[in-house]
Chains A and B, each alone.
Chain A
Amino acid sequence: MNLTLHVWRQKNPQSEGRFVTYQAKDIIPDMSFLEMLDVVNQELIMKGEEPIAFEHDCREGICGSCGMVINGYPHGGHRGTTACQLHMRHFKDGDTITIEPWRARAFPVMKDLIVDRSAFDRIIQAGGFISANTGVAQDANAILVPKQNADAAMDAAACIGCGACVAACPNASAMLFTAAKIAHLGLLPQGQPERYTRVVRMVEQMDKEGFGGCTNIGECAAACPKVIPLDVIARMNRDLLVAKIKGV
C-alpha cells in the first residue's frame, strides 16, 4: 500500500518547525506504524536527507517511549494501543496520514516528533516513591493486601508514562498520569506512610510544570494505551482534600 504522510519536522527546540509531505511506498499491512516510518526513514537516509526523529524502544507497548498524534488521535486512537502496536492494516491504500508531536507547554518539542517529557520525571521525584527498610528482606506474604485493592493498584501501575493523556487533553493536563501514580502507591499498605505528603507534593509539582487543569472531559482515559480509568483522578482529588483537612 502507498500512503501520503504529513509529518511535523523541527530541527531543534528553538527552530520554528513545519509540516513536510512524504510518500510511503510499498508498505506491507502487517508492518507496525513505526516500521512504516523506518521504511520512510531508510529512503530519506539513502537520499542523504535527515530521517524523521521519533522515540521508540521496546516496540511492544510497555516502555512508553513512542508516542505521536496520528490523524488527530494520540497513538492513532485504537483502544489500548501504543503507536508501536498500531498496525498498518488499519489504514487503506492511498490514505493521507498527519503525524504530529505531543503538544503541551510542559512537553517542549526537541526534534521532529520527540518531546521532552522530563516534567513527568520531576512529578515522580516529588513523591512517587515509598520508604522501605534495609536489612533482611521481609516475607513477601507478611503484609496482606485485599484483592480488589491489589487489582486497582495494578491497573493504575500499568501507566507507562507515555504522555498520551496530556496530548489528548483539551487543557494539556497531567491529571491522569499523576493520579495513576498516586493511586498505584496509595492503594497499597506500603504506600500509606507517605500517602498524604505524596499527593500534596506531586500535585504541587504537576501544577508547577505548567500543565493545565482538569475539566473532567475524559479524553485522557480514552486515549490511554493502558486504559487507566478516570476514577483514579477522583481518588487523587479526594486524597488532596483529605490531606489539606489533615493539615499536611
Chain B
Amino acid sequence: MAAALTLYRTTIGKKAVMAITGFIGYGFVILHMIGNLKIFEGAEGFNEYAHFLRTVGYPMIPERGLLWVLRVVLLAAVILHVTAAIQLTRLDWASRPKGYRETRRKQATFASLTLRWGGLAIFLFIVYHLAHFTFGLGIPDFGGHETAYQNVVAGFSNPINVVLYIAAVGALGMHLYHGVWSMFQTLGLNGPRTDGLWRGLAVLSGILLFLGFSTVPVAVITGLVR
C-alpha cells in the first residue's frame, strides 16, 4: 500500500493508473460494441441480450450481480482516470510558463496532441449517453432494458443524436489511436520488438471501434434497422 502511494506521487505512477484504468475502459468499449451489433439480430435478439446482461450466472450469482460489479469497477476506473488526467495536465501546463513564439512538430499527431480534449469530449458524452439510453431522456415511451431495441430506434430517429454519437465515437477512435499504444509504453510493456505490434493494435482499435459503433446509428437513420 505504501509502495502504491509513493508510486502515485510520481508522474509515472499517475500515468500507470491512467494506463490500467484506460485498459479497463478499452475492454469495456470492445464488449459494448460487440453487444451493440446484436441490433442486427432484430428486436427479440437485442432485448434478450439486454435481459441476459442482468441474469448472467443466475442463480449462482444474484440477478444484476455481475452488472453492478461491472458498474462499480467502471465508475472507479473513470474517476481514477479523470483524476490522474487532471493532476497530470496541471503539472504539464505548469512546466512551461513561457512558451515559444514559433513551435513546429515532427512526430506529434492530431490524436496525441488533442488526447486530453478528446477525453473531455468522451466524458461529457458518457454523461449524455447515460441520460439518453439508461434514463430515457428525450426518448418517448422509454421502457428501460425491456424495450432496449425500441429505445435505440427511437433515439436514433433524431438526426441530431446520430451526429452527436458519430462525433463522440470519432473522439473515442482518436483517443484509442494514441491511447492504446500509450498504455503499453507507460506500463513498460513496450520495446523495439513490440512497438509495431502495439502501434498496429492502436490504429486497428481506433478504426474498428469507430466503424463498429457508428454502424448502429447509421443503420437506424437510413431505415435499415427500424
A contact residues vs B (CB 8 Å cutoff)? 6, 19, 69, 71-73, 77, 98, 100, 103-106, 170-173, 203-204, 207, 210-219, 221-223, 229-231, 233-242, 244-245, 247
Contact A222 B107 (CB under 8 A): yes
27 interchain pairs, CB-CB under 8 A = A69-B100, A69-B102, A71-B104, A77-B106, A100-B100, A100-B101, A103-B100, A105-B97, A106-B95, A171-B96, A172-B92, A173-B95, A203-B11, A203-B12, A207-B10, A212-B91, A212-B94, A213-B14, A213-B15, A216-B185, A229-B192, A234-B190, A237-B185, A237-B187, A238-B187, A239-B188, A247-B3
CB of A211 within 8 A of CB of B186, answer no
Of chain A, the residue at the smallest CB distance from B108 is A217
Q: Does B195 contact A (CB under 8 A)?
A: yes
Give the residues in chain A near B105, CB-CB below 8 Å: 219
Residues on B with beta carbons closer than 8 Å to the beta carbon of A71: 102, 104
Q: A222-B106, A223-B106, A241-B187 are in contact. List 4 more A-B contacts (CB 8 A).
A: A98-B102, A170-B108, A233-B185, A238-B188
**Do A237 and B95 have beta carbons less than 8 Å apart?**
no
Residues of B within 8 A of A19 (CB): 101
Q: Tell me the interface secondary structure of chain A in the complex.
A: mixed
A210 and B91 alpha carbons, distance in the complex (Å): 8
Partner of B107 from A105, A172, A173, A217 at Cβ < 8 Å = A217
Is B187 within 8 A of A172, CB to CB? no
CA distance A219 to B113 in the complex (A): 11
Roughly how many angstroms separate A203 CA and B95 CA in the complex, as a whole number?
Answer: 16
Assess whether B95 is in contact with A211, with CB atoms less than 8 Å apart. yes
CB contact list, B4-21 vs A, under 8 A:
4, 6-7, 9-16
**Interface pair B188/A237, CB less than 8 Å apart:** yes
Q: Which residues of B contact A (CB under 8 A)?
A: 3-4, 6-7, 9-16, 88, 91-108, 112-113, 115, 178, 181-182, 184-192, 195
The answer to whether A219 and B108 have CB atoms under 8 Å apart is yes
Cα A19 to Cα B98 with chains together (Å) = 14
**Complex contact A207–B102 (CB within 8 A):** no
Asked if B103 and A72 sit within 8 Å, CB to CB, the answer is yes
Of all chain A residues, the one with the shortest Cβ separation from B97 is A105
Task: Please state if B7 and A104 are interface contacts (CB–CB under 8 Å).
Answer: no
Residues on A with C-beta less than 8 A from B101 are 6, 19, 98, 100
The complex places the Cα of A10 from the Cα of B58 at a distance, in Å, of 72
* Cα–Cα, bound, A111→B76 (Å): 48
> Shortest beta-carbon distance, A247 to chain B, in Å?
5
Known contacts: A98-B102, A104-B96, A105-B94. The answer to whether A214 contacts B108 by CB under 8 A is no
Taking CB atoms, residues of chain B closer than 8 Å to A69 are 100, 102
Minimum CB–CB distance for A49 against chain B, Å = 22
A217 CA / B192 CA spacing, docked (Å) = 16
Contacts of A100 in B (CB 8 A): 100-102
Contacts of A215 in B (CB 8 A): 92, 112, 115, 182
A19-B101, A230-B185, A235-B188 known; A214+B7 contact, CB < 8 A: no
